[in-house]
Amino acid sequence: MRGFENFLADLASEEKFVCGLLEQITEYNIKIIDRALLYPIDGFFFGDDYGQQRGLLMSPATWRKFIKPRLAEMFDRVKRAGRTAALHSCGDISAVLGDLTDIGLDIYQTVQPEIYNLAKIKENFGADLTFWGGISTQHTLPHAAPDEVKKVALETIKILGKGGGYIAAPTHQIPADVPVENILALREAFKNQ
């Protein structure tokens, strides 16, 4: 609505405007949530990219001030109805994963192995979160040999699936440059688990 760069600049210089904009978006989303809750669905999938390869796109304090309260309001609506809250965010959002679990997040997608130490994120947040992703669409799927794809997929399942709480999947939509053989290898690894 504002453009990415404009919105990031607004966070630093236009607090009143940002609060008004985010409140309107939250109100709109809550109307959608309330309407969807009339149907027998299992949960809601929220999506925003709060991170990039090296951390948040804004400071944790800024995220907590502007984003967290609005997400908390939407998650609360979902959780009070006994439904699941899932969130997609690319990038390294480790600085706010604890905040997200505090406000009711159940499933975090996408877990990028280029960013996260999978064993560490499982250890730190695996009791509170189900992880979705973990198979690299940046490196493994487009560039590895099929046997390596299988190996990586099985290792990822072993790490993130320990004790449950893992949805085995690529980190993101499979890009067009991924060889068909690698997609078939990934499928086979998943089927044999």
Count of structural domains, the chain: 1
Please tell me the predicted confidence (pLDDT) of residue 1.
82
State the average pLDDT over residues 92-113. Answer: 97
**What is the bridge-based pairing of β-strands 51-52 and 55-56?**
antiparallel
In a domain, residue 169? The reply is: yes
Record the tokens describing residue 92, joined without a space: 């390294």
Whether 192 has a pLDDT exceeding 90, the answer reads no
- Range 37-42, long-range pairs (CB < 8 A, 24+ positions): 37/77, 37/81, 37/83, 41/83, 42/83, 42/84
Please tell me the predicted confidence (pLDDT) of residue 146.
98
Please tell me the predicted confidence (pLDDT) of residue 86.
98
In a domain, residue 47? The reply is: no
Whether 66 has a pLDDT exceeding 90, the answer reads yes
In a domain, residue 130? The reply is: yes
Q: For 127-163, how does the pLDDT look when each residue is reduced to its tens digit (9 = 90+)?
A: 999 999 999 999 999 999 999 999 999 999 999 999 9
CA distance 60 to 58: 6
Domain range for 171: 106-193
In a domain, residue 112? The reply is: yes
In a domain, residue 189? The reply is: yes
Record the tokens describing residue 171, joined without a space: 């980190």
In a domain, residue 133? The reply is: yes
State the average pLDDT over residues 24-44. Answer: 97
- Range 16-21, long-range pairs (CB < 8 A, 24+ positions): 18/66, 19/66
Concatenate the DSSP letters of all residues of 133-188 into one string: EEE-TTTHHHHS-HHHHHHHHHHHHHHHTTTS-EEEEESSSPPTTS-HHHHHHHHH
Please tell me the predicted confidence (pLDDT) of residue 193.
78
Looking at residue 128, what DSSP letter applies?
A: T
In a domain, residue 78? The reply is: no
Record the tokens describing residue 68, joined without a space: 């967290």
Q: For 83-101, how does the pLDDT look when each residue is reduced to its tens digit (9 = 90+)?
A: 999 999 999 999 999 999 9
**Residue-level length of the chain:** 193
In a domain, residue 25? The reply is: no
